[in-house]
Amino acid sequence: MIGKDGKEVELEFPVSWTFRIIAESNAEKCREALTEVFRRFDMTPQIKDGAESAGGRYRTYVAAVEIPSRSIFEELPRALGEVPGVRMVL
């Protein structure tokens, strides 16, 4: 991972991380599906609504979690990205 100063930084686990998940606004039950993915990883974050796009097509969800290991850090974003209607996980 690259730090603010442009140098490579090694993450130390556990690490606090805030996911920003961009999904289609009309994706039914997206929040529930995201919650279920976090539960599979033994996490129960409060998923908050973020901004909606100007055209109303997309919505951002925000979830802060404590990630215990590098393997989960790599697996969790992939699993979140597989939820129907999710377009991007940041």
Is 31 a member of any domain? yes
Would you place residue 71 in the very low, low, confident or very high pLDDT band (cuts 50, 70, 90)? very high
Q: Are 47 and 63 in contact (CB under 8 A)?
A: yes
Mean pLDDT of 11-28: 93
What confidence tens digit (pLDDT) does each residue in 37-67 have? 999 999 999 999 999 999 999 999 999 999 9
Is 34 a member of any domain? yes
Is 68 a member of any domain? yes
Is 10 a member of any domain? no
Asked if the peptide bond before residue 14 counts as cis, ω within 30 degrees of 0, the response is yes
Q: Is the pLDDT of residue 84 over 90?
A: yes
Containing 20, the helix (H) or strand (E) segment is strand 15-24
Is 77 a member of any domain? yes
Q: How many domains does the chain have?
A: 1
Find the domain containing 72 and state its range.
Answer: 15-89
The CATH number for 73's domain is 3.30.70.260
Is 7 a member of any domain? no
Kind of pairing, strands 58-67 and 48-52?
A: antiparallel
